[in-house]
Structure 1
Amino acid sequence: MIFETIVTTTNADGSPHVAPFGVREWDGMVLIAPFRPSASLDNLLRGRCAVLNLTDDVRIFAGSLTGRRDWPVQHAERIDGWVLEGALAHRELELAEIRDDATRPELLFRVVHERMYAPFRGFNRAQAAVIEASVLVSRLHLLPAEKIDAELKYLAIAIEKTAGERELQAWGWLMEKIENFRAEQAGSNQA
């Protein structure tokens, strides 16, 4: 099973790097498998640690994919890393094993500390739609436009019926990203 999370790593200059990741868990370990090239992968290999943030603020998922990476953070407690201030919970991770691969290495982490701040009450349909749309945006260069359009049409129903202010903002960022990508592909992007 894949869990959608926000992973924070530390850039070479010491600043935080915020990125959405689908992670897997088993036997107390967390698997993070970034595609190459990736700033997150570079940070994970260099720093050998990360923070897995659990949040219901889907703006962070959408924002991370649309150039909005400046989210409030605080220092982690046991590792040299960053915790999202708005996280419901976080897990501090240390790299235990690397399964190298030319395209998508698998990095296994052990949990060295975790803290819960507030209960997770679940995602509403609009929040789930934003996360799904975020996955589509992360794969714009891989998926046919027809598939993206069909999935967005379906996801938009949940946005129309159940979105709050945060979800509408995140959805808007993602739609803007898609429009800019398509304009760039067509050679007409003015942004």
Structure 2
Amino acid sequence: MIHETIVTTAACDGRPHIAPMGARYEGDHVILSPFRPSTTLDNIVASRAAVLNFTTDVRVFAGCVTHCMTDWPTLAASCVASVRLAESLAHAELELDELRDDAERPVLRMKCVYRENHAPFAGFNRAQSAVVEGAILVSRLFMLPADKVDREMAYLQIAIDKTAGDNERTAWGWLVAAVARHRASLESSGGHTATAAVHH
């Protein structure tokens, strides 16, 4: 099972980096598998630390993959050389236990050393889930057929229309605009451009 989370790391100079990333759990360990090139990977190798952030503010997911908003407030982590989102429901602080290197997608086995809850979870919201799915689509525009993107975005739009609040509508707007920009770049280059992958 893969859980969609926000991973925060810090560069050697303390500069924070925020990235949506799927995480798997093996007991007390968290498994991260970022694609190269990856700022998250570089920061973890250098600091041996990262933080998993659990948030229902889906603007963070959409803002990062569209580059519309990447400068979310952070605080210093409690036990590891990293940062956490200032506004999250909970966070888990991780230390690097094992690095299985790979030219394309290394596997990071991280040990959870500290957890903290900050706010209650209010329940599932369909629009929030739709934004997360939309963010995954946008991160893969360079490899997905346009008709598949259109079909899935149209279906996700139903949940947005029925259940979204202000944050979800803002995030969805960023995603829709990102798809439009991608299509415009394809047209302007004759349909042969390759959109850069999102670097986590």
Q: Distance in 2 between matches of 1:62 and 1:27?
A: 29
After TM superposition, the structure 1 = structure 2 runs for residues 58-97 of structure 1, keeping only pairs within 5 Å, are 58-67=58-67, 68-97=69-98
Match of 1:31 in 2: 31
* CA distance in structure 2 between the aligned counterparts of 1:187 and 1:43, rounded to whole angstroms: 36
Aligned equivalent of 1:137? 138
Q: CA deviation at 1:26?
A: 1.2
Where do 4+ consecutive residues of structure 1 move more than 3 Å?
A: none
Amino acid at match of 1:60: V
TM-score for the superposition, normalised by structure 1: 0.95
Identity of aligned residues (%): 53
Which SS does the other structure have where 1:153 is aligned? helix
| Offset, 1:185 | 1.9
**Alpha-carbon deviation of 1:170?**
0.2
Structure 1: gaps of 5 or more residues: none
Amino acid at match of 1:96: D
Q: Which residue of 2 aligns with 1:100?
A: 101
Question: CA offsets, 1:13-43, max 9 Å, x none?
Answer: 3211011011000121000100111111111
2-structure distance, mates of 1:100, 1:122: 38
Alignment correspondent of 2:41 = 41
Residue in structure 1 matched with residue 196 of structure 2 by the alignment: none
Kindly state the Cα deviation for residue 12 of structure 1 after the two structures are TM-superposed.
Answer: 4.0
Residue range with higher mean Cα deviation, 103-112 or 179-188: 179-188
> Quick one: distance in 1 between partners of 2:5 and 2:124?
13
Instruction: State the one-letter code of the partner of 2:40.
Output: S
CA displacement, residues 65-118 of structure 1 (integer Å, 9 cap, x when unaligned): 121111111100101111111110000000001111111111010001110011
Residue equivalent to 1:5 = 5
1:129 counterpart SS class? helix
CA change 1:26–1:12 in 2 (3 A) is same
Q: Secondary structure at the residue paired with 2:13?
A: coil
Aligned length: 188
Compute the TM-score of the two structures, normalised by the length of structure 2: 0.91
Taking the TM superposition and a 5 Å limit, the aligned residue runs for 1:13-28 are 13-28=13-28
In the aligned structure 2, how far is the partner of 1:181 from the partner of 1:13?
A: 33
Matched, 1:54 2:46: no
Which amino acid is 1:138 matched to?
S
Alpha-carbon offset, residue 121 of structure 1: 2.6
CA distance in 1, matches of 2:125, 2:143: 28
Q: Which consecutive residues of structure 2, in runs of 5 or more, have no partner in the other structure?
A: 190-200
Q: Cα RMSD over matched residues?
A: 1.1
Paired with 2:105 and 2:124, the residues of 1 have a C-alpha distance of 29
Task: Tell me the secondary structure at the aligned position of residue 179 of structure 2.
Answer: helix
